[in-house]
């Protein structure tokens, strides 16, 4: 692949005419920086201050001061990290550590703890599952062609381009279970032009080309109808459930599956090497909560959770997406799905001839066989999934009171505004501010992924408490709000520039050698407590998504995924039965409170302009 060549060559040695579009900035990307130790420690102290009482903060100050002593452990660990970052063989000093700790070495089930989902707005032209699935796959194939020909425009802009390396894991990719750490495989797109389909836990293969011509949407629709008919009403053993069990369990069971029949390995390889997986569920979600839950978890069976891309289509034509997170963050797949939905909605996808060729081969059913031992393992995994998901709740809120268009009139960042909505909603429910994570992308750096945006600040706490105090004048609340917005924007900009707290401190901690004393900063309770993410939040943008989400990251916390649309705010709240519906109610109330407060400024501004 040309992508591999580009990683080994400088752009200057290439003919300018041959430089492709998608990766044209790749070799100009900077390495992820190592922040100055003093800067990180000061940011850290500022971030923990609102979470600690005076006595605890004084103890933390001492620990940080000790860490910064000249010739001390902090200085030595910083030297080690700088040496790692400067190694010419290391593209990104964090990459190997982060991929293992956060994903490949993480052993809990992919759902609810790793994968993420999108729900799509309904397609009024395509109400049947076969027609909806056919249109989605056709549009995905168009996007895939842009990726393979490397004509896809790079994300970001010419001044701040984003790393595009993760796109190589988008199609024909699969995660594999292994102890102590999983791994991913990608397959040659030139020789693997098939998609996989699962219906009633039965897997099928559809070749996307016939006689050198891609199947039309109508031909695909016919293929999906054949699969639905062939699958019938009986369900096969739920192989998908094992892929959503503990990763060590799946690593133990996979050899048992392969040994159940000599052909199983080849059949699984066809599934795993496919472009994508289409899940045709025999269920019709009736509302936003059901739709969201079904895309996130479904029944845990009619899936293959290790596949990088899974498009889910329901009996009533509703649809969505489930992404495996280990090799790719949400922004590339959100771009893919938004491309699919927006271009279908605007009639810009070439659906092909409106005819079905008579000699198109029927889909191939993968007749995977299960030994008694394998069937017992399936049953255990099904039980494990049901028990785990019974401990979870989800609420998907669509708030139509305002969106990005109004927030911009408040002269502030829409993301900062909504983050304060989340803070206020949580405070209304719990009466306290707890550590909050917001994902900040670091894709402006080579192989960059994310950094933590620490939302809670002294400014945010002051604003939230003032919002709930009727004795505080409106003008002061507004001033405190603007201070909170500015503090949040400042931290998020720093995080996106690789100048956050959490990844740097993680790198320093990981460079401790066996037998070395752990510095007091890492033993201080404030270190663990300030990164105990009671709120794990993240934003993606698409007018065509109805919701998106993922699971909480701590047992006593919530996951909050949100979309800031032009005229609406969408929140998906998940937790271990802590009251996702209650928090959603509080979020709506908080949004109303903040809207009312900041709208009060708009008439005053108009009057001032009129006088001028």
Instruction: Using alpha carbons, select from 494, 512, 538 the residue that is nearest to residue 44.
Output: 494
Nearby residues of 324 by Cβ (< 8 Å), 6 or more positions away: 110, 114, 115, 175, 305, 306, 307, 308, 310
Q: Determine the Cα–Cα distance for residues 334 and 502; give it in Å rounded to an integer.
A: 25
Sheet with 393-399, strands from edge to edge, namely 393-399, 569-575, 558-564, 535-539, 436-441, 450-454
Q: How far is CA 303 from CA 200, 284, 600, in A?
A: 10, 16, 50
Is the distance from CB of 236 to CB of 303 less than 8 angstroms?
Answer: no
Is the distance from CB of 95 to CB of 451 less than 8 angstroms?
Answer: no
Place of tokens 């425009």: 153
CA angle 216, 273, 193 (to 5 degrees): 25
In the beta sheet, which residues pair with residue 437? 454, 536
* Residue 325 annotated to the active site: yes
Give φ, ψ of 364 to 5 degrees. -90, 125
Q: Determine the Cα–Cα distance for residues 564 and 404; give it in Å rounded to an integer.
A: 6
CA angle 464, 468, 471 (to 5 degrees): 115
How many CB atoms within 10 Å of residue 27? 15
Q: Determine the Cα–Cα distance for residues 134 and 125; give it in Å rounded to an integer.
A: 12
Q: Determine the Cα–Cα distance for residues 281 and 315; give it in Å rounded to an integer.
A: 7
In 404-515, where does DSSP find H-type helix?
A: 404-409, 414-430, 458-467, 474-496, 502-510
- Radius of gyration, CA atoms only, the chain: 25
Q: How far is CA 128 from CA 235, 316, 318, 354, 444, in A?
A: 21, 6, 9, 17, 41
Point out the catalytic residue in the list 194, 325, 392, 488. 325
Is the distance from CB of 6 to CB of 26 less than 8 angstroms?
Answer: yes
Q: Determine the Cα–Cα distance for residues 99 and 86; give it in Å rounded to an integer.
A: 20
In the beta sheet, which residues pair with residue 313? 280, 319
Place of tokens 């990981």: 510
Is the distance from CB of 284 to CB of 128 less than 8 angstroms?
Answer: no
Enzyme catalytic residues: 325
């Amino acid at each position: 692949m040309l992508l591999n060549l580009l990683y080994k060559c400088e752009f200057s040695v290439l003919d300018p005419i041959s430089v492709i579009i998608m990766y044209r900035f790749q070799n100009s990307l900077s390495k992820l920086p190592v922040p100055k130790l003093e800067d990180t420690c000061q940011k850290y102290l500022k971030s923990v201050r609102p979470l600690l009482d005076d006595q605890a903060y004084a103890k933390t100050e001492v620990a940080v001061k000790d860490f910064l002593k000249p010739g001390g452990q902090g200085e030595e660990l910083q030297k080690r990290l700088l040496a790692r970052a400067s190694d010419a063989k290391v593209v990104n000093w964090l990459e190997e550590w982060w991929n293992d700790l956060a994903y490949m070495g993480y052993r809990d089930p992919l759902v609810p703890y790793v994968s993420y989902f999108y729900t799509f707005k309904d397609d009024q032209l395509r109400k049947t599952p076969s027609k909806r699935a056919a249109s989605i796959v056709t549009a995905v194939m168009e996007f895939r062609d842009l990726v393979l020909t490397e004509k896809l425009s790079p994300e970001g802009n010419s001044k701040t381009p984003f790393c595009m390396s993760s796109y190589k894991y988008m199609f024909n990719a699969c995660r594999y279970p292994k102890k102590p750490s999983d791994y991913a495989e990608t397959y040659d797109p030139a020789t693997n032009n098939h998609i996989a389909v699962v219906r009633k836990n039965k897997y099928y293969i559809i070749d996307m080309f016939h006689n050198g011509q891609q199947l039309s949407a109508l031909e695909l629709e016919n293929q999906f109808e054949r699969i639905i008919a062939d699958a019938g009403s009986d369900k096969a053993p739920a192989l998908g459930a094992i892929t959503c069990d503990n990763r060590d369990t799946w690593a133990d069971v996979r050899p048992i599956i392969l040994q159940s029949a000599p052909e199983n390995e080849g059949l699984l390889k066809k599934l795993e090497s496919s472009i994508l997986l289409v899940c045709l569920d025999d269920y019709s979600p009736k509302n936003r909560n059901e739709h969201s839950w079904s895309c996130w978890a479904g029944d845990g069976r009619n899936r293959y959770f290790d596949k990088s891309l899974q498009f889910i289509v329901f009996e009533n034509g509703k649809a969505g997406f489930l992404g495996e997170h280990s090799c790719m963050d949400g922004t590339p797949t959100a771009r893919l799905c938004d491309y699919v939905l927006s271009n279908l909605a605007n009639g810009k996808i070439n659906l092909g001839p409106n005819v079905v060729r008579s000699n198109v081969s029927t889909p191939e059913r993968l007749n995977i066989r299960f030994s008694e031992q394998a069937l017992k393992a399936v049953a255990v995994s099904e039980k494990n999934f049901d028990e785990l998901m019974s401990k979870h709740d989800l609420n998907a809120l669509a708030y139509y009171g305002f969106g990005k268009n109004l927030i911009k009139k408040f002269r502030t960042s829409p993301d900062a505004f909504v983050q304060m909505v989340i803070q206020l909603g949580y405070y209304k429910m719990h009466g306290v501010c707890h550590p909050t994570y917001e994902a900040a992308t670091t894709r402006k750096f080579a192989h960059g992924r994310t950094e933590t945006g620490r939302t809670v600040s002294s400014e945010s706490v002051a604003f939230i408490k003032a919002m709930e105090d009727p004795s505080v004048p409106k003008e002061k609340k507004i001033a405190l709000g603007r201070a909170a917005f500015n503090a949040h924007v400042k931290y998020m900009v720093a995080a996106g520039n690789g100048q956050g707290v959490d990844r740097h401190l993680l790198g320093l901690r990981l460079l401790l050698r066996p037998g070395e004393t752990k510095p007091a900063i890492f033993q201080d309770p404030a270190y663990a407590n300030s990164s105990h993410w009671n709120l794990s939040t993240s934003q993606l943008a698409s007018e065509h998504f109805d919701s998106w989400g993922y699971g909480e990251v701590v047992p006593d916390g919530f996951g909050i995924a949100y979309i800031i649309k032009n005229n609406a705010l969408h929140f998906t709240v998940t937790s271990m039965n802590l009251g996702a519906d209650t928090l959603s109610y509080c979020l709506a109330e908080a949004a109303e409170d903040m809207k009312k407060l900041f709208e009060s400024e708009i008439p005053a501004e108009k009057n001032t302009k009129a006088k001028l």
